[in-house]
Structure 1
């Protein structure tokens, strides 16, 4: 059984590259300031991407489904 995706929805998969690029661009977030609740920027920036990535995966799943 073959499933074909609509041509208009193929760009949704590119959204999944955002966390990959944002976390591999180390010079952007390799700093201690600004701190949030005592955590340096380096750590809370990475922790912020955990729920953001989950939301992006869900959005792509719903968009493709």
Structure 2
């Protein structure tokens, strides 16, 4: 059982959250910068650049989101384990 005084997680390290935030900004902002890919050349298999570039970002974004998820889950597990460890003050 948990009471309000007993923490369920240890202290957070900011680095995994900062890295995840940066990756999310990249995943959101770059596909929104339409002027950098609003052209038809180079075509890939007859598909204009405008379309295949967007589809490429679907794959890139899924990879970036997986990395963010893995970082946050690993940090959460570390924080939970920090609370479960018995403290030795002897």
Q: Fold conserved (TM > 0.5)? A: yes
Of residues 15, 24, 46, the one that matches 2:23 is 15
TM-score, normalised relative to structure 2 = 0.64
Deviation at 1:19, TM superposition (A): 2.2
CA RMSD of aligned residues (A): 1.7
Moved over 4 A (4+): 1-4
TM-score normalized by the length of structure 1: 0.86
Which structure would you say has the larger Rg? 2
Determine which structure has greater relative contact order: mean sequence separation of CA pairs < 8 Å that are 6+ residues apart, divided by chain length: 2
Q: Supply the distance in 2 between the matched residues of 1:34 and 1:19 (Cα, whole angstroms).
A: 22
Number of residues paired by the alignment?
65
Gaps of 5+ in 2: 1-6, 74-90
Residue ranges of structure 1 left out of the alignment (5+ in a row): none
1:38 equivalent to 2:75? Answer: no
More helix by share: 1
